Amino acid sequence: GQSLEQPSEVTAVEGAIVQINCTYQTSGFYGLSWYQQHDGGAPTFLSYNGLDGLEETGRFSSFLSRSDSYGYLLLQELQMKDSASYFCAVGRNTPLVFGKGTRLSVIA
């Protein structure tokens, strides 16, 4: 089976940096993805890591360490609109398995 652990809630100040961690246990590994979901909205894809290291997309970066079964999403220069839930997920050609999500609250 597969399971993912991520913090349930994180609060950070506008303009700051926040890191959301994700650890996983899988029978086979096929990449770690991150999704963002605003209240009342649908999940939207943010990033994918298939290999170890850092992937950067604008203010967002995602990191993966396969040897540690660990990854994180890094959000820089936080804005109020970044308040949302963030989900890590494992899988590629197989159906994605999602973590339970981290609710990020950005405060002024």
Partner 1 sequence: NAGVTQTPKFRVLKTGQSMTLLCAQDMNHEYMYWYRQDPGMGLRLIHYSVGEGTTAKGEVPDGYNVSRLKKQNFLLGLESAAPSQTSVYFCASRIEYSTGEQYFGPGTRLTVT
Q: Which residues bind partner 1 (CB under 8 A)?
A: 8, 31-33, 41-45, 48, 50, 87, 89, 91-93, 95-101
Residue 78 CB, shortest distance to partner 1, in Å, is 23
84-90/32-37 β-pairing: antiparallel
Closest of 91, 106, 96 to residue 20, by C-alpha: 106
Query: In DSSP terms, which residues pair with 58 in a beta bridge?
Result: none
Residue 92 CB, shortest distance to partner 1, in Å, is 6
Residue 107: burial class (beta carbons within 10 Å; 0-12, 13-18, 19+): exposed
* Residue pointed to by tokens 């950070």: 12
Residue 16 CB, shortest distance to partner 1, in Å, is 26
Residue 9 CB, shortest distance to partner 1, in Å, is 11
Between residues 89 and 106, which has the closer beta carbon with respect to partner 1?
Answer: 89
Between residues 58 and 95, which has the closer beta carbon with respect to partner 1?
Answer: 95
Between residues 52 and 77, which has the closer beta carbon with respect to partner 1?
Answer: 52
Q: What share of the chain is helix, strand, coil (3-state, %, to 5)?
A: 5, 55, 40
